[in-house]
Amino acid sequence: MVSPSYGARDAPLRPAEPFEKFSPPLANGERPAEPGAPFPLRLPSKALVFGGAPLEEQPKNVDPLVLELVNTKVVERGPPVQWSDIAGQVSVKAAIEEELVWPILRPGTYSGTSHPLRTLLLFGPRGTGKTLLSRCISTQLGSTLLRLSGTTLLSTWKAEAEKILQTVFFVANCRQPAVVLITEAESLLAARAGEDGSQVSNLKSQLLSYLDNVATSSEQNVVVIGTTARPGSIDEASHRRFGTRLYIPPPDGAARRHILRQALAQQSCCLSERELAALAQRTESFSGAELLRLCQHAGAARRALTGPPTCYQDLEKAFCKVRPAASQKELDLFLEWDKMYGTRH
Ligand code: ADP
C-alpha cells in the first residue's frame, strides 16, 4: 500500500526530523530539480557501452522472447512513491537522498573525488520498506525501474536465468536512467554460490561484473539496488561490491503510529489517540507490512460481524493472528551485521 502520505496528517513528525533540514548544494543560479524529474542523461557520443561491447552490437544477442518477458514482468509500472509515503527511516532517507539521489540529479555540483554512488545494498527484516524505498529512489530519479527477485530467477526462470539477467541490464542501459532492483539478492550472492561451476556460480559472477560495471562506468545512468533479509548469507567480497550498505530496521514508535493511523483510516475505525499510542507501543519490532496485516485482520473480523467500526478489541484479537516474524535475537544479529559491514551506524 503506497497511497497514504506519512507526515501529511500528523504534522509533528516530519518537521522535527533532520531529513527536512537537508538542502542540496547547488551551483550559483541553479534551480533544484523537481522530485521525479529525470536525471540528466550523459550518453556517450558514439555508442552506449554495455559489458564492454557497444550497444549497437547487442540486439542480435538478445532473445526476443526474453526481451518480451523482461519488458512485461521485470519493468515495473507501479505508481510513483514519494519520500513522504515512507514512515520513519529518517536517517536512511537522508543518507540516500544526500549520497545517491542528489549527486545524480546534480552532477558537477558534487565534485567528490570518488565515483558517484551507483550501487546500494538495503538489508533488514522482511516488510520494513526496502522495496518501497527502492521504488521511491526510482521515482526521485525519474527512472525506469526493473525489479527482479533472485529467488524467482533461480526457481521459476531457472532455464533462462543468465539470459534474463543479461537482458535486464541490456534493457536498463537502453532505458537510462534506470534502477535495477534485485530483491532477495542473497540467493544470487550466497557465499557458496561462487564455489563450483554451477548455474548459480555463473549468475553470481555475471551479477558482480554488472555491479562493477555500473559502479565504475561514467557512461551509464544505471543504479543497482540489492535488498536482502539475510545479509549474513552474502559473502564479504560480494556485499563489499555495493558502494553503500544500509540497515532498514522495523519502524520506531512514531513511525508505527503513523502507519497504524493511516491503515486504520482506510477502514471505519473508532480508536482514540490513547488507544493508538498503546497499539504503537505494543507493536514493537513489527515491520510496516506486519502492521498493515494486523489492521487488515482486525478490519476483516469486524466486517464479518457486519458490526460497528473497528475498535481496540478487534486489534487485540488480531494479535493472535499476526506476530512479528523477526525475533529480538534476529534483530540483534542485524544490528551486529550493521556494525561490522553497514555503511552508517
Ligand atoms: P521489504 O522490501 O523490506 O520486504 P516492502 O517494501 O515490500 O518490504 O514493504 C511491504 C509493504 O509494507 C509496503 O508496500 C508498504 O505498504 C508497507 N511498509 C513497510 N514499511 C513501511 C514504512 N516505513 N512506511 C510505510 N509503509 C511501509
* ipTM of the complex model: 0.99
Of 254, 289, 7, nearest to 129 by C-alpha is 289
Q: How far apart are CA 48 and CA 338, in angstroms?
A: 36
Pocket-forming residues, ligand 1, beta carbon under 6 Å = 1, 6, 86-89, 126-132, 227, 251, 255, 259, 288-289, 292
- pLDDT, tens digit (0-9, with 9 covering 90-100), for 77-97: 999 999 999 999 999 999 999
pTM for the full predicted model: 0.82
Mean pLDDT of 271-300: 91
Flag whether pLDDT at 50 surpasses 60: no
Q: How far apart are CA 47 and CA 57, in angstroms?
A: 10
Residue 240 sits at the vertex; the CA angle it makes with 152 and 110, to the nearest 5 degrees, is 105
Flag whether pLDDT at 234 surpasses 50: yes
Give the residue whose CA is nearest to atom 18 of ligand 1. Answer: 288
Contact 255, 147 (CB under 8 A): no
Q: How far is the CA of 115 from the centre of ligand 1 (A)?
A: 30
Residue 112: pLDDT band with limits 50, 70, 90: low
Q: How far is the CA of 86 from the centre of ligand 1 (A)?
A: 8
Flag whether pLDDT at 12 surpasses 50: no
How far from the centroid of its chain's Cα atoms is residue 141's Cα?
Answer: 13
Q: To which residue does cell 551479477 refer?
A: 207
Q: How far apart are CA 290 and CA 306, in angstroms?
A: 24
The predicted structure's pLDDT at residue 84? 96
